[in-house]
């Protein structure tokens, strides 16, 4: 089995190292990841400029082949598939910080899984809740990731569906299959003035959302690994009759 590993924190992140090494238990692993952090880039693909694709021994992943790209996680999946061959599985992460609820559309980690799913490859996004950046431990999550990836390799996933997985701060108490919560970053804008007296604006976000039972946020905060199956068939069928009555005919 061939496994493409990507992320959005960049190729030098400890999270991708832990994930790539753990995945070696399942097959042939190769890493294609952004050269710098790409958080909050969403599912962008770079089409207006060329990209570089460079072998990166300095990533410390030897003997796993590791390549860096000056683009987004989706770019990494596209280039990885074209230049290194089509994998059987795409895994993205382990992200430093959760990707939950309404945040999914912003997440570069999730974008790696979306790109894999779009081209028909079973895909999984992995993220770790971090209490503090000093104390974070990717190993329990990496072990759990292998168990989940093995199941996906054996059973497959429905068409257009991928798994979004979040690990709790400490070693997980178990697994919960969850709904998406209302978790998102409440946008705030900080206004400042530059040395030339011209204003500039910085978007910041405060994590918010309620820990309703059964949701992804609830599960990770309760110490469980959260797995949410995500569908790329985004149409809301329940609202179609009202729209048909209003606009068709």
Residue 199 in contact with its own copies, rule: CB under 8 A: yes
CB 157 to its own copies: min, Å: 8
Residue 114 in contact with its own copies, rule: CB under 8 A: yes
Provide the terminal-to-terminal Cα distance of the chain, rounded to the nearest Å: 52
> Segment contacting its own copies (CB under 8 A): 18-26, 74-82, 89-97, 124-132?
74-82
Residue 125 in contact with its own copies, rule: CB under 8 A: no
8 A C-beta contact, residue 76 and residue 41 = no
Residue 151 in contact with its own copies, rule: CB under 8 A: yes
2, 14, 28, 53: which one binds its own copies (CB under 8 A) = 53
Compute φ and ψ for 47, nearest 5 degrees: -120, -5
> Segment contacting its own copies (CB under 8 A): 14-22, 86-94, 127-135, 203-211?
203-211
CA angle 206-33-66, nearest 5°?
Answer: 145
155, 195, 197, 206: which one binds its own copies (CB under 8 A) = 155
H or E stretch covering 193: strand 184-193
Chain centre distance of CA 239: 29
CB 23 to its own copies: min, Å: 18
Residue 208 in contact with its own copies, rule: CB under 8 A: no
8 A C-beta contact, residue 162 and residue 114 = yes
């Amino acid at each position: 089995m061939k496994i493409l590993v990507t992320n959005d924190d960049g190729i030098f992140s400890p999270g991708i190292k832990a994930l790539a090494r753990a995945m070696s238990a399942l097959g042939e692993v190769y890493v294609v990841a952004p050269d710098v952090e790409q958080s909050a880039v969403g599912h962008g693909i770079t089409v207006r400029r060329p990209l570089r694709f460079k072998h990166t021994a300095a990533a410390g992943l030897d003997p796993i082949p590791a390549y860096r790209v000056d683009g987004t996680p989706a770019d990494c999946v596209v280039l990885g598939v074209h230049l290194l061959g089509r994998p059987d599985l795409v895994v993205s992460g382990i992200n430093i910080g959760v990707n939950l609820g309404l945040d999914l559309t912003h997440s570069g980690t999730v974008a790696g899984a979306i790109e894999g799913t779009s081209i028909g490859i079973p895909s999984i996004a992995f993220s770790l809740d971090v209490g503090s950046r000093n104390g974070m431990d990717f190993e329990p999550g990496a072990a759990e990731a292998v168990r989940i990836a093995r199941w996906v390799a054996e059973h497959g996933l429905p068409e257009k569906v991928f798994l979004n997985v979040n690990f709790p701060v400490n070693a997980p108490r178990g697994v919960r299959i969850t709904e998406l919560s209302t978790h998102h970053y409440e946008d705030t804008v900080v206004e400042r003035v530059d040395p030339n007296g011209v204003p500039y604006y910085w978007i910041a976000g405060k994590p918010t959302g309620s820990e309703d039972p059964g949701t992804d946020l609830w599960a990770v905060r309760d110490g469980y690994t959260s797995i949410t199956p995500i569908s790329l068939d985004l149409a809301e069928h329940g609202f179609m009759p009202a729209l048909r009555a209003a606009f068709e005919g």
